[in-house]
Structure 1
Amino acid sequence: MLQKDKRVLTGNEGIARGFYEAGGLIAASYPGSPTVEVIEKLKEYHEVYSEFSTNEKVALEVAIGGSFYGARSMAVMKHVGVNIASDPLMTFTQTPTNGGFLLVSGDDPGLASSQNEQDNRFFGKFANMGIFDPSNSQEAKDYTKLALEISEEFQAPMMLRITSRVCHSRSVVSIDERTELEPKGINRDKEKFCMVPPGSRKAQLFMKDRIEKLEDYGYEFHINELEEREGSDTLIITSGMVYQNLKEINPNASIWKLGLIYPISKKRAKEITSKYNRVIVIEEMMPFIENELKLMGIKCEGKEYFSYTGELDIKAIEAGLHKAGVLKQIKKYREELVETVPRAPLFCTGCPHRPVFDILKKSKAKTIVGDIGCYSMAFLFPFQQSNIIISMGASIGITKGIKKAMTKKGDKEPLVAVIGDGTFFHSGLPAIINLLHKKNEGENMTFIVLDNRTTAMTGGQPNASSGLYNEVDDMKVNIKELLEAMGFDRVKEINQYDYKATAKLFKEEIAYDGLSIIVANGPCALKYNMEEPYYYVDPSICINCRACIKTNCPPLRMKKYEGIEKLKSSIDKDMCVGCSVCAQVCPVNAIKSSKETDREDDKIDN
């Protein structure tokens, strides 16, 4: 018997592999941590069509289209992305699936990379979907395949809810061959797929019957595993990564590990829990499983011992079980702390956003409405130039709402909003168009579109303007031309790296008594591998003013030069990408390009 190929994969890679092995054909996503790696990995499987779509709603619709044709299809997004996709989702789940359909939701306990801690298990139930919750990479792969099979068997869309820790952690995965499946073609039963009354009224009952059948199926579902501990009167019910942490503790209790967390078989749950005096549910974030059991009339405990927020690591689970009286004592861990230099999040070397926020900090704008992207970091020290950040694309509508309220009060303070190019295309366009509605003269609003032509914060995925910078990407939307075509009459474009010209334009537009839009261009230095001749400091000219240091570029620091008493600025030439912003802000021209200077001169800084 041949030994199976085994590989060490992340949970995201496990999902991609599972979709490939299951004969998946159509996959779409909008990049967002923690699930961005799924589509990146799927690019390696040429049998699968995969794309990063404009936003999550579009990604879901692409996957829905694949499913309607009878192809196994998948939409992938982070938890808040499901909010964007919810309009088609809540209606699509009324229809019978033709090809297996899977929605992957990357939840983020502890907010490692998110603006909230939304628990999408509740969204899955709300949408009448079956929900799978893997605890490692092998299960991520297996549950992906299983969910697609069950989706077709029950004609029901499925959700794979995975958390950040499982997405990024690695474990051994058994590799299987791909199963090729021929798409069945479109089912033209209009009443089942045209979701307007009276068809959608019948669909409500169809959804109810479908979930009940799936619950019956769950009675003997093998991924809901019971691990009985002889002599124990306590049952712990859990799922996902919490199960792996719980196994490390090895409490004196039986464990019922759920792989399918919705719907839970009421019959099976009552049979199992009736054997125990105590039932304790351990789950991250909201009490989803606990609430489901209580709705069945099963007495259980849970959130009185475990936090509603954050990840439940081994220490947190031990503390909760000790509080519940399951553990007599808590283990003492030996902690060896290594002193490290604290490092706050900051813009990359040569980032085009840095001069923008340095200029805004020096401007007369008191209120700056931010958005979601790399530039969100502008609210942190030292820039501190975002007063409000809510969600993708929200900066535009929020700014209009603030300004309309200010107008009612007679407040003429200028407002500035920033939005990235990826976010502009994702969800900014409808709000931008809405600025034309009831547009009044004298309402001072300046909107800055930061166009670095990539979705930078999630790893440099393409967006609709990326093709203007390279030949690989196929969309070449010019934002300025698009805005002018919409009907905006004051749209200016500037190179973000041209500091003085950008500062002059910002000053003019912020002072302008009306609505203006600035498209600030500059390639993402990391994505496009910016590497111009490096800059260096001549300490004999430097006056120690720290103007360059205040731009907060990583290669810049103050240092002691031999024979010079005061600290002077310096540039790490190995980090410098040659963006030139530091040289432009230097008032005495102490910063020079290595391209324009003899090699002897740059030895001064070595």
Structure 2
Amino acid sequence: MKQLMLGNEAVARGLYEAGVRFVSSYPGTPSTEITENAAKYQELSCEWAPNEKVAAEAAIGASFAGARSFCAMKHVGLNVAADPFYTMSYIGVNGGMVLGVADDPGMHSSQNEQDSRRHAIGAKVPMLEPADSQECKDFTKLAYALSEEFDTPVVLRLTTRIAHSRSLVELQDRDERDLKPYEKNPAKNVMLPAFARPKHVKVEERTQRLTQWAETAEINRMEINDPSIGIITSGNSYQYAKEAMGGGASYLKLGMVNPLPVELIKTFAEKVEKVYVIEELDDVIESHCKKIGVDVVGKELFPLCGEFNQSLVRRLLTGEELPAQALEAEIPVRPPVMCCGCPHRGLFYALKRAKVYVSGDIGCYTLGASAPLGMMDTCVCMGASVSSLHGYNKVLGEKSEKKSVAVIGDSTFIHSGITGLIDIAYNNSNSVVVVLDNSITGMTGHQENPTTGKNIYGDPASAVSLEALCKAVGIDRVRVCDPYDLKETQKAVNEELAADGPSVIISRRPCALLKTVKHNPPLTVDNDKCIGCKACMAIGCPAISQRDGKAVIDRTQCVGCGVCEGLCPKQAIVSKEAKA
């Protein structure tokens, strides 16, 4: 039986067929759908973890217990999980363990273009890279076989294009596997220096054995066509090269990208006249080729930055352009904006009126950096808003304390904001932290988190009280406001900025896109009262525009949140019923 699947769906199917029992992840685009789809298989125990480090450690524990385990993350999530990941390379596994890591060339939804192959090289862990959905499933299953054969965690590397593209996948039955018995073995599992030193030697020996495996592995294959051009590539770059050149080139497709083969690459190079390496982001394969004495053309021709495509590959290899489908009409640029009724909009408007420095974080609210609100000064990584505000205020003192805040979402606060808040309380900086609680993990598509009271299956779960948590770590001033109420929100911001000592404002209103949220009727504009002052435009709501000098509200978009009502000096924005 065959089925059309996203790459992420196919990975989840691979987990099912491989007999995996336990999956723990933190949602991060483009990897999120792996865990969401894995949760559809009742044989798999799936959960959302507070962050990627916890997810990896939970998967490690399941491996110790003898189960095949998995955790998924995006590339920057691997940074968070790097501490246990690098040490697990030394320890190895009991039940097979795989990490699914999705890189994001082109930064469709990320703050950098990190190449996770560098982590695999640094940790000395094997990494497989599929090129379509069928390979996503097959490589997932292969990863567990390699994990247990070579006593190592294995990384499955996807990219946005592979994770979110569909192709046919042949389905098979589940390979139900018994738990491997746990055997107490401190020399293997306890990484004291005395035990870790000999394990490093074993890791190096393992890398040599994996390199030999890569020489003859079916997933590393030569396709000899026209010998004038030879292309060494992997993943979605293989697809681009094939579509761009077809039979006009020969290919060495690498399914294992760490460790890389040596003799196979040399053999391929002997069969072609000129060798090109096509790989997105870093020059990993190219550097390896040059190290083993194979002359290749790589990053002097292909860019280090951004996502590739078929046209780029064809143009750079041949100077020719692939035929393109011309659009009959120009499509206007449409940058991402906060949704109509987004609860973050009112809070950012209050911050703008307060004229403060905003230490930002990762989430939907990062869009508050865009005009017309323009209220985000910095954004580094998850949790950095809180910690960096502390450092900012410690250095500037009274110059900044009453004129700066940190903003962070509820899920991001649980992920890595709590420790920063502890730092503020413990080291006593006069800092104001705003937790934007929209009752969901919004940016990645409405996943539950430890504050929502539901688990990945939608079942009731323990819910973290943000108020109690903030007080427990030493913050005495904790208050809640409704960002739809501009006066209340402005008052909360002003008062906490004026207060002595650290404080937390919880801006609480569910995401407007949640299915459980009931909206008010859309608003309308009374043209007789509207003076065209554009005060309502200050919040940047997509439903509000200007026409013939008057404000206009698109009833198909408006959710009746009422924020714009509080901005109009002439009370020209009303409900349809009130106007009637």
Scaled by the length of structure 1, the TM-score of the pair is 0.91
- The counterpart of 1:416, out of the listed 387, 400, 405, is 405
Deviates more, 1:532-541 or 1:466-475: 466-475
- The counterpart of 1:344, out of the listed 322, 335, 341, is 335
In structure 2, distance between residues paired with 1:211 and 1:419:
41
Q: Following superposition of structure 1 onto structure 2, how do residues 386-465 of structure 1 map, counting pairs within 5 Å?
A: 386-407=376-397, 414-439=403-428, 443=430, 445-465=431-451
Change in 2 beyond 3 A, CA 1:239/1:188? same
Matched, 1:176 2:162: no
Residue matched to 2:564: 582
DSSP 3-state at the match of 1:51: strand
Q: Following superposition of structure 1 onto structure 2, how do residues 91-170 of structure 1 map, counting pairs within 5 Å?
A: 91-170=87-166
Q: CA deviation at 1:575?
A: 2.1
Residue matched to 1:234: 229
Q: Following superposition of structure 1 onto structure 2, how do residues 462-501 of structure 1 map, counting pairs within 5 Å?
A: 462-467=448-453, 472-501=459-488
Residue matched to 1:568: 550
Matched, 1:535 2:523: yes
Residues 389, 395 of structure 1: 8 Å contact kept? yes
Change in 2 beyond 3 A, CA 1:483/1:468? farther
DSSP 3-state at the match of 2:100: strand
2:376 maps to a residue whose letter is: S
Long gaps (5+) in structure 2? none
Residue matched to 1:563: none
Q: CA deviation at 1:289?
A: 0.8
Matched, 1:380 2:370: yes
Scaled by the length of structure 2, the TM-score of the pair is 0.95
Residue matched to 1:508: 495
In structure 2, distance between residues paired with 1:411 and 1:179:
60
Q: CA deviation at 1:513?
A: 4.5
In structure 2, distance between residues paired with 1:73 and 1:557:
51
Matched, 1:7 2:3: yes
Residues 300-322 of structure 1, C-alpha deviation per residue, up to 9 Å, x if partnerless? 22111100011110121112213
In structure 1, distance between residues paired with 2:332 and 2:266:
53
Q: Following superposition of structure 1 onto structure 2, how do residues 203-218 of structure 1 map, counting pairs within 5 Å?
A: 203-218=199-214
In structure 2, distance between residues paired with 1:468 and 1:197:
41
Change in 2 beyond 3 A, CA 1:412/1:85? closer
In structure 2, distance between residues paired with 1:301 and 1:571:
56
- The counterpart of 1:358, out of the listed 349, 361, 364, is 349
Residues 104, 161 of structure 1: 8 Å contact kept? yes
Q: Following superposition of structure 1 onto structure 2, how do residues 54-93 of structure 1 map, counting pairs within 5 Å?
A: 54-93=50-89
Long gaps (5+) in structure 1? 324-328, 561-566
Matched, 1:304 2:300: yes
DSSP 3-state at the match of 1:172: strand
Change in 2 beyond 3 A, CA 1:292/1:337? farther
Deviates more, 1:112-121 or 1:57-66: 57-66
Q: Following superposition of structure 1 onto structure 2, how do residues 239-388 of structure 1 map, counting pairs within 5 Å?
A: 239-249=234-244, 250=246, 252-322=248-318, 329-365=320-356, 367-388=357-378
In structure 2, distance between residues paired with 1:142 and 1:55:
27
In structure 2, distance between residues paired with 1:489 and 1:551:
32
Residues 511-560 of structure 1, C-alpha deviation per residue, up to 9 Å, x if partnerless? 33442221111111112434223322222222322222222222222235
Q: CA deviation at 1:482?
A: 1.1
Q: CA deviation at 1:465?
A: 1.4
2:416 maps to a residue whose letter is: S
Residues 451, 522 of structure 1: 8 Å contact kept? yes
Residues 415-438 of structure 1, C-alpha deviation per residue, up to 9 Å, x if partnerless? 111111111000001111011233
Residues 529, 570 of structure 2: 8 Å contact kept? yes
Residues 468, 477 of structure 1: 8 Å contact kept? no
Residue matched to 2:189: 193
Change in 2 beyond 3 A, CA 1:262/1:471? closer
Residues 402, 498 of structure 2: 8 Å contact kept? no
Residues 72-94 of structure 1, C-alpha deviation per residue, up to 9 Å, x if partnerless? 11110000000000111111111
In structure 2, distance between residues paired with 1:210 and 1:539:
75
In structure 2, distance between residues paired with 1:514 and 1:203:
49
Change in 2 beyond 3 A, CA 1:220/1:86? same
Change in 2 beyond 3 A, CA 1:557/1:62? same
Residues 462, 473 of structure 1: 8 Å contact kept? no
In structure 2, distance between residues paired with 1:411 and 1:422:
27
Residues 126, 155 of structure 2: 8 Å contact kept? yes
Matched, 1:30 2:23: no
Residue matched to 1:553: 541
In structure 2, distance between residues paired with 1:513 and 1:412:
9
Residues 118-158 of structure 1, C-alpha deviation per residue, up to 9 Å, x if partnerless? 00011111111111111111111110011111111111111
Change in 2 beyond 3 A, CA 1:38/1:410? closer
Q: CA deviation at 1:471?
A: 7.8
